Amino acid sequence: MVGKLLGIATKPTKRAGMELHESRIITFNGGLEGDHRGRGGLNRERQVTLLSVESWAEACKELGAALDWTARRANILIEGIAFNPTILNKWINFGDNVVLEVTGETKPCKRMDEVHFGLQNALRNWRGGVCCRVIQGGFVRVGTNVEILTFE
């Protein structure tokens, strides 16, 4: 399954506004360059967060609202790859070099209802995206192909 990287965003500090980028560096220890969550602590389970454009559209449709994807506060927006429990522990490849491992669902918090009432509930069942740790760092750019790696 091949998808596409549609957007890259960072927040330099907690609760800061999201900053959009055309390209960014992702490192093993630092996560997404310029994002405050990149280090992710000792276990590094939430270095980079991914959001599916299809899932975001479903949530917005359910709410009857047109919300920008950065309202979700995810780092990377992708199309063509669905998030559900079967993606847990899978590796996702970005272009020729970056590999992220899905460590879990990004659970929507109460802050989502500050953006739009009902958004927290609309992001249930993996619609809110996934958390990842960096397996291999490198350079990512909007338009890059994204695919789930299979080891057979």
Residues in the chain: 152
Q: Are 124 and 78 in contact (CB under 8 A)?
A: no
Q: Are 77 and 53 in contact (CB under 8 A)?
A: yes
Q: What confidence tens digit (pLDDT) does each residue in 115-152 have?
A: 899 999 999 999 999 999 999 999 999 999 999 998 76
Q: What confidence tens digit (pLDDT) does each residue in 79-96 have?
A: 999 899 999 999 999 998
Q: What confidence tens digit (pLDDT) does each residue in 49-60 have?
A: 999 999 999 999
More confident residue, 39 or 75: 75
- Kindly tell me if the per-residue pLDDT of 41 is higher than 60: no
Amino acid identity of 114?
Answer: E
Sheet strand arrangement including 31-32: 31-32, 23-27, 138-141
Whether the predicted model's global pTM rises above the 0.75 cut: yes
Q: Are 102 and 38 in contact (CB under 8 A)?
A: no
Give the number of other Cβ atoms within 10 Å of residue 12's Cβ: 11
d(CA 107, CA 130): 8
Q: Are 147 and 93 in contact (CB under 8 A)?
A: yes
* Domains along the chain with CATH numbers: 2-12+26-148 (2.40.33.20)
